[in-house]
């Protein structure tokens, strides 16, 4: 910023300097000039980024730029807040959706596992009951066979036990001699083989 406090038009002559103007052109910062009046211009006014009639107008211009930049900054900050809030809301909504999906999938897995456990439990109970029933039937059959194989139980039903040489036999082929015994419920008969006849098959 180049300004002067006042003076006559002749005082502007030393500001019409080419070297000074060339130096200002090479500056990287904006050059603001307020060195004359409305009708008084110099070469510096021509090369400056902005030229004002008076120093007071330069100050007013600076103030306006500051206000403008401040408003832009406020607008940018507001935009950033809005965009940030929008992004946060979007991420929160997305997170809620993902959490809901995870909950749904987890509940589905739990329900599936519970159903499988119930099916396995029912199947296990069914198989266990069937095994118990089969075992009970087998025990009952074995018990009946045991009772039937007891000689006293057999003889009480009207049957007899035939022995040869002291051993119970079931076939004439098992006779070891002509003598054998027949034991019934109420006594023992000693007998002798007179004739053997086999059944035709």
pLDDT of residue 53: 83
In a domain, residue 49? The reply is: yes
Whole domain around residue 18: which residue ranges?
A: 2-53
**183, 151 contact by CB (below 8 A):** yes
CA 201 – CA 184 distance, rounded (Å): 28
pLDDT of residue 7: 65
In a domain, residue 67? The reply is: no
3-state secondary structure of 164: strand
- Element at 131 (helix H, strand E): helix 55-149
In a domain, residue 23? The reply is: yes
Contacts of 130 (CB under 8 A, 6+ apart): none
Half-sphere exposure of 38 (CA within 13 A, CB side): 0
In a domain, residue 176? The reply is: yes
What's the Cα-to-Cα distance from 67 to each of 2, 54, 64, 73, 74, rounded to whole Å? 21, 20, 5, 10, 10
Residue with structure tokens 């119930």? 118
In a domain, residue 138? The reply is: no
pLDDT of residue 148: 61
* Helices and strands in the chain: count of H runs, count of E runs: 4, 7
In a domain, residue 101? The reply is: no
In a domain, residue 100? The reply is: no
In a domain, residue 79? The reply is: no
pLDDT of residue 60: 92
Instruction: Sort 163 into a burial class: Cβ within 10 Å, 0-12 / 13-18 / 19+.
Output: middle
How many domains would you assign to the chain? 2
Per-residue pLDDT of the chain (201 residues; tens, 9 = 90+): 878 766 666 667 777 888 888 998 998 888 888 886 667 788 888 899 888 888 888 889 989 999 999 999 999 999 999 999 999 999 998 999 999 999 999 999 999 999 999 999 999 999 999 999 999 999 988 877 776 677 777 777 788 888 898 888 888 888 888 899 998 888 999 999 888 888 776
């Amino acid at each position: 910023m180049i300004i002067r406090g006042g003076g006559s038009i002749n005082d502007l002559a030393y500001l019409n300097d080419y070297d000074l103007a060339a130096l200002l052109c090479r500056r990287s910062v904006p050059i603001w000039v307020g060195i004359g009046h409305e009708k008084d211009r110099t070469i510096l006014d021509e090369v400056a980024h902005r030229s004002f009639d008076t120093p007071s107008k330069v100050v007013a211009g600076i103030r306006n730029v500051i206000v403008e930049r401040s408003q832009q900054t406020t607008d940018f900050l507001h935009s950033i807040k809005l965009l940030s809030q929008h992004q946060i809301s979007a991420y929160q909504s997305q997170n809620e959706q993902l959490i809901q999906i995870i909950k749904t999938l987890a509940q589905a897995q739990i329900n599936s596992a519970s159903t499988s456990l119930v099916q396995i439990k029912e199947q296990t109970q069914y198989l266990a009951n069937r095994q118990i029933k089969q075992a009970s039937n087998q025990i009952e059959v074995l018990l009946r066979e045991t009772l039937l194989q007891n000689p006293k139980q057999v003889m009480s039903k009207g049957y007899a036990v035939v022995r040869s040489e002291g051993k119970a036999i079931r076939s004439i082929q098992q006779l070891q001699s002509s003598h054998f015994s027949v034991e019934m419920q109420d006594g023992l008969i000693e007998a002798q083989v007179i004739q053997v006849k086999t059944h035709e098959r």
